[in-house]
Structures are given as structure tokens and as C-alpha cells.
A = this chain, B = another copy of it.
Amino acid sequence: MTNEGNRGRPRSQQARQAILDAAAALLLERALSEVSMDAVAQRAGVSKATIYRWWPTKEALALDALYAEWNTVRPFPRDTGSLRGDLLSLLRPWARLASSRPYGRVLAALLTTAQSDPVFATEYRQRFVEPRRDQARALFQRATERGEIPAGTKIDVALDLLYGPLYHRLLHGHAPLTDRFVRDVVDMALDGILPGPA
């Protein structure tokens, strides 16, 4: 974007990191709307103008800050031999991370912004949604190759059927997002609510 010919003073990586750290820390303390850019600047020991030079809005900054936080733990799903096992090894770490700290608060705020800002929405999905969906898609591909599920399975629906309930509990908070719940969701999604036609 800026500084296109390597001319002039280079961007301070120290400032960049301090800003992201400060934003992340504050976002875990209180709601996004309660976090002021002045507070981030002060905590990072940085000028407000420096923040605005690189992030157009508070939400964009929050997106980056959360992304850095979120990706410290990167659960890579291993092949457990069955779709059920694969899904559990993918979703359980996600659920643990999501409920380990008030990430739901930030996530909700980002989703709110995404409702009114299509560009932001795309950015959000590319960073937070698609990678997980791609991983899960790979699991289903593997399951298809194994012959566990038929070829015509609507995978996109299945993805929503798995992630939807998790986000639902995270955001609505009507019940906790436990390992037990993850197992129940996987079981019920795989086997169905109705008893099998045996």
C-alpha cells in the first residue's frame, strides 16, 4: 500500500507488533466498543496516527489482533481412521480455544461489522471461516475415499450442520460449549436424530 519504492523510513515492525498486542490485550479485557483507539495507542506507546495509517478502522485492527491471538494455537487435524474421529480432533480444539477466553465477544463484534461492510465480511471469512471449512472439507473428502459416506453428500450443508451449533452456543450462551457438547453434535450429525432404519 504505502512506501512503494522502499524509499523513506521503513515501517516500524516494533510499533506494528506493539499495536497488535495492545489491541489484543484490551479486546480480552472489554468489549470492542469500549476499547478506544486512544487507549490502544497509549498502551502500545504509539501515536494514534500511526494506527490509522495502517488500519482504516478499529474493526480492521481488531480483526488483525484477534487473528494473531487465534493463530498462536494451530490445531492440525490428524487422520484418525474414521470421519467421527477426524471431526472430533478438528472441532474439539476449536471449541476449547473459542471458549477458553472471551473470544466470543470479539467474534460477535466482528460479525456485527461484517453485516454492514461486505469488504470486511469477505476479509473476515477468508481469515477465520474458510480455513476451518477447508480443513473439514478435506476430512469429508477422505471419508468419501474411504467409502464412509456416499459420493452425493452435500458437504456444505454438513459443514454448517457441524460448525453452526458450535457458533450458536458460543454466541447465544444459552448453554456451555463443552467437549461433551462437541461429541454430542458430532454423533447426532453423523447418525441423525431419527433412529436408523434398522
Contacts and interface: CB of A to CB of B under 8 A. Distances in A.
A24 interface: no
Closest 3 CB pairs of A and B: A192-B192, A164-B164, A164-B165
A76 B172 CA distance: 23
Given A33-B112, A105-B115, A160-B175, 7 more contacts: A108-B108, A108-B115, A111-B171, A115-B173, A149-B194, A161-B165, A161-B185
Max chain B CB contacts within 10 Å: which of A156, A168, A169, A184? A168
A60 B61 CA distance: 28
- Secondary structure at the A interface, as helix, strand, loop or mixed, is helix
A127 to B, nearest CB: 12
A125 B158 CA distance: 26
Number of this chain's copies in the complex: 4
Contacts of A34: 116
A172 B111 contact: yes
The residue among A108, A164, A181 with the most chain B CB atoms within 10 A of its own CB is: A164
Contacts of A77: none
A194 B190 contact: yes
A94 interface: no
A54 B155 CA distance: 48
Contacts of A148: 194
Interface in A156-189: 156-158, 160-161, 163-169, 171-175, 181, 184-185, 188-189
